[in-house]
């Protein structure tokens, strides 16, 4: 592949609902452009962009991939993304590197949840957009219905550029280009397209769709608007120019049609991408962030100093770490040494590759705007900036969704904990949406993902890549215990077994404390307990508080006042008073109205107005208390529901909210305090804890 100039690069991300045909579209583009010599299919497991064994087995994309397509003197860097919600992090990575988005829509199913989410993600990233309505090899695919649905949902900026032509039998005869008045028909034998005039019997459709196209084109300038309303002719050149400017400005969202698995409808799509989609310098500047997190802009300079942004990492067990980057400024040359402005480390770019799926194609240089890969950058991760000369330069990082689906992870074979940690640390490098922690309270290893499928894939990768089999279980919850009453007790530790004995005697008042931990005071008169034993008493209580008397959970908000006791001149020591304090604790807490506390969090749910009733009904079932509801400022038609809810009720909320809202709902959840557990639920928790103690 020849080294490109920046103006001849197009970076395009494919978005859309799971199963809409994004991967098949990449395959068709590669085949038509002669980058591959056979047309792979998802069902056969031989596509270029779905090459991971887990993707082949499941039959859909799990991670993003890149595929450069050469078309008429330009390179289109196609970024293929997963459509399933659990792998949304991969989408955000590619959107950050792209300059435009093609949203793939199923011609039979039409606008789906994934279509709406793709639109939102691309809009938030300020990317120009286009639609490719796929699957016209299915006789039930209906362009007119899908186009109407797209315009109803997203507005008159959505306009047809191409539509399917059916013959007398209803079979697809080709795809009409509304700007050029030409039908393009694909010939599989020669892997090329032929051109014919649009048949006369399509005149009515052409007039209708062209009216939609001109209405959208007219929105781009006052001059064209005047021509449109005066019913004056808008020339082909004016349409091309307006389409180019309108796509870049986001005022026009063109709609194409085809069938990726048959390579139908791609000629006009690829021509439009090269002719009308933005080049990397079209937006003129890039977002950067300073040390305080403030955002600003910096000019994109193809002739400036070299700077890269790492948008994706793959932890390959054979090759090692592979860093996918976009050249944000200047030209990258092999063997350059760049500074990581996040870590301060210097990194030598020993080799530069462009990736077509898993195939590495080595190159000497990459220009501004291009996308490449390099291996073995030990101190560089996703979201890092590498710069030749500016140690302060940091490109705005990708904002990843928060993982709330948490499970406990344990090895099936004893002693594999280190293997798990090593494997997960590699997976964390390539998937910033994963979270992993060793919970000191519950003594469990916890893994959090964006959904059950996400975690299922993690388990499969741990086995296939790192040879460790694990099982996922519902995590234990970190409950707490406290007391509600005041009680006076004493504890006496006395032991005599030849030689010097042990003697410690304390009288303590226990009561609910203001501070979270132990509030220890003493009011001993007359030296009944010498001062030098006070720390031992406090230490004994702190140790005892690690285990409550109800279910063994840590005790919080405990006040203890040492007011009396006795000692022995010879037999008393620090250990004796520590043990006496523990005895007093065990004696006193059961009498002090002990209760179980559970973590309570603030939940913010963002849902379309139509689903508010279902969501609120579900929150009531989960012991949630709705505090507030208001319009969601970031998206029209959405509501924000604010509620307080026990953490124990949130275990499956990711899945439940998706089911209730068809995937449209989002939420944030933060634990902020503890509250008393209702008696009936507390009894079950206590019984389960005792059963577990008995088993162990």
Q: Return the minimum-mean-pLDDT range out of 55-64, 352-361, 519-528.
A: 55-64
The string of pLDDT tens digits covering residues 416-441 is: 888 888 889 989 999 999 999 999 88
Which pLDDT band, with edges at 50, 70 and 90, does 499 fall under? low
Residue 695 has pLDDT above 70, yes or no: no
- What's the mean pLDDT in 493-513? 89
Q: Just give the CATH number of 405-472.
A: 3.30.70.870
Which is more confident, 465 or 328?
Answer: 328
pLDDT value, residue 2: 38
Q: Per-residue pLDDT tens for 641-672? A: 999 999 999 999 999 999 999 999 999 999 99
Longest dimension (CA), the chain: 116
Handedness of CA 46, 4, 379, 440 (dihedral sign): negative
CATH architecture of the domain formed by 9-276:
3-Layer(aba) Sandwich (3.40)
Fold (CATH) for 596-681: Alpha-Beta Plaits (3.30.70)
- Predicted pLDDT of residue 696: 55
What's the rounded Cα separation, in Å, for the pair 415 and 39?
46
What is the tens place of the pLDDT at every residue in 147-161?
Answer: 999 999 999 899 999
What percent of the chain clears pLDDT 90, i.e. is strictly above it?
Answer: 81
Q: Does position 689 have pLDDT exceeding 80, yes or no?
A: yes
Nearest to 596 by CA among 648, 559, 643: 648
In angstroms, the Cα distances linking 614 to 2, 38, 451 are: 56, 49, 21
Residue range 481-592, CATH number = 3.30.230.10
Task: Tell me what the mean pLDDT of segment 346-362 comes to.
Answer: 94
Task: State the CATH class of domain 285-387.
Answer: mainly beta
Q: Which two tokens stand for residue 2?
A: 């020849």
Q: Kindly state the tokens that stand for 592.
A: 């002090």
Distance CA 512, CA 518 (A): 10
Q: Is the pLDDT at 234 greater than 90, yes or no? A: no
- How long, in residues, is the chain? 696
Question: Six-digit token pair at 447?
Answer: 């893994």
State yes or no: pLDDT of 162 exceeds 60. Answer: yes
Question: Counting Cβ atoms within 10 Å, is residue 586 exposed (0-12), middle (13-18) or buried (19+)?
Answer: middle
Q: Which pLDDT does position 510 carry in this prediction?
A: 98
pLDDT tens column, 166-176: 988 889 999 99
Token output for 370? 């291009």
Output the pLDDT for position 344: 93
Residue 3 confidence class, pLDDT cut points 50, 70, 90: very low
Distance CA 96, CA 400 (A): 11
Q: Evaluate the CA torsion angle 35, 37, 42, 47 in order and state its sign.
A: negative
Q: How confident is the model at residue 236 (pLDDT cuts 50, 70, 90)?
A: confident
pLDDT at 279 over 70: yes
Which residue from 373, 265, 358 is spatially nearest to 46, judged by alpha carbons?
A: 358
Instruction: Please indicate whether the domains covering 405-472 and 596-681 agree at the CATH topology level.
Output: yes
Is the pLDDT reported for residue 44 higher than 80? yes
- Are the C-beta atoms of 364 and 351 separated by less than 8 Å? no
Span 40-58, average pLDDT:
84
Q: Whose structure tokens read 């400022």? A: 633
Alpha-carbon span 220 to 205, nearest angstrom: 24
In the chain, where are the structural domains located?
9-276, 285-387, 405-472, 481-592, 596-681
């Amino acid at each position: 592949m020849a080294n490109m100039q920046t103006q001849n690069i197009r970076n395009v991300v494919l978005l859309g609902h799971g199963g809409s045909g994004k991967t098949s579209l990449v395959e068709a583009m590669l085949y038509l452009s002669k980058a591959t010599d056979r047309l792979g299919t998802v069902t056969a497991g031989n596509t270029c962009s779905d090459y991971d064994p887990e993707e082949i087995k499941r039959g859909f994309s799990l991670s993003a991939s890149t595929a450069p397509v050469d078309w008429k003197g330009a390179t289109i860097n196609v970024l293929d993304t997963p459509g399933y919600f659990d792998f949304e992090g991969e989408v955000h990575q590619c959107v950050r590197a792209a300059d435009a988005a093609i949203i793939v829509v199923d011609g039979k199913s039409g606008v789906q949840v994934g279509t709406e989410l793709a639109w939102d993600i691309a809009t938030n990233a300020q990317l120009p957009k286009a639609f490719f309505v796929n699957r016209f090899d299915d006789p039930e695919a209906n362009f007119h219905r899908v186009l109407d649905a797209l315009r109803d949902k997203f507005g008159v900026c959505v306009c047809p550029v191409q539509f399917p032509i059916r013959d007398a039998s209803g079979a697809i005869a080709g795809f009409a280009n509304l700007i050029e008045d030409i039908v393009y028909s694909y010939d599989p034998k020669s892997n090329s397209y032929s051109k014919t005039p649009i048949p006369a019997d399509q005149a009515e459709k052409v007039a209708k769709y062209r009216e939609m196209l001109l209405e959208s084109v007219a929105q781009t300038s006052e001059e064209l608007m005047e021509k449109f309303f005066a019913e004056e002719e808008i020339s082909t050149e004016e349409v091309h120019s307006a389409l180019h400017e309108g796509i870049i400005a986001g005022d026009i969202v063109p709609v194409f049609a085809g069938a990726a698995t048959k390579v139908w409808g791609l000629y006009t799509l690829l021509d439009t991408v090269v002719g009308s989609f933005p080049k990397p310098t079209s937006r003129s500047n890039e977002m950067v962030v300073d040390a305080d997190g403030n955002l600003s802009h910096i000019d994109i300079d193809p002739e400036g100093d070299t700077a890269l942004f790492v948008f994706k990492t793959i932890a390959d067990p054979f090759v090692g770490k592979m860093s996918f980057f976009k050249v944000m400024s200047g030209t990258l040359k092999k063997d350059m040494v760049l500074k990581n402005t996040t870590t301060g480390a210097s990194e030598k770019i020993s080799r530069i590759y462009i990736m077509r799926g898993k195939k590495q194609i080595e190159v000497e240089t990459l220009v501004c705007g291009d996308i490449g890969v390099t291996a073995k950058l030990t101190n560089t991760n996703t979201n890092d900036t590498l710069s030749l000369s500016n140690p302060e330069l940091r490109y705005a990082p990708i904002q990843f969704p928060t993982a709330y689906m948490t499970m406990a992870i344990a090895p099936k074979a004893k002693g594999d904990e280190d293997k798990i940690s090593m494997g997960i640390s590699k997976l964390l490098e390539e998937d910033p949406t994963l979270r992993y922690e060793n919970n000191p309270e519950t003594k469990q290893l916890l893994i959090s993902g964006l959904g059950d499928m996400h975690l299922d894939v993690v388990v499969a990768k741990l086995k296939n890549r790192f040879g460790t089999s694990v099982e996922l279980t519902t995590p234990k919850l970190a409950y707490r215990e406290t007391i509600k009453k005041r009680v006076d007790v004493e504890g006496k530790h006395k032991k005599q077994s030849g030689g010097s004995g042990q003697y410690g005697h304390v009288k303590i008042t226990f009561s609910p404390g203001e501070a979270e931990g132990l509030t220890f005071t003493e009011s001993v008169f007359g030296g009944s307990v010498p001062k030098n034993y006070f720390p031992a008493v406090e230490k004994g209580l702190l140790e005892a508080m690690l285990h409550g008397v109800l279910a063994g959970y840590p005790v919080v908000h405990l006040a203890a006042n040492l007011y009396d006791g006795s000692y022995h001149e010879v037999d008393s020591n620090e250990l004796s008073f520590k043990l006496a304090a523990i005895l007093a604790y065990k004696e006193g807490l059961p009498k002090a109205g002990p209760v179980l506390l559970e973590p309570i969090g603030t939940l913010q749910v963002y849902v379309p107005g139509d689903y508010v009733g279902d969501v609120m009904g579900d929150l009531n079932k989960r012991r949630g208390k709705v505090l507030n509801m208001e319009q969601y400022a970031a998206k029209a038609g959405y509501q924000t529901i604010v509620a307080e809810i026990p953490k124990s009720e949130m275990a499956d909320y990711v899945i439940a909210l998706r089911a209730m809202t068809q995937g449209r709902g989002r939420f944030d959840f933060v634990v902020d305090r503890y509250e008393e557990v209702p008696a009936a639920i507390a009894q079950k928790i206590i019984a389960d804890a005792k059963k577990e103690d008995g088993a162990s």
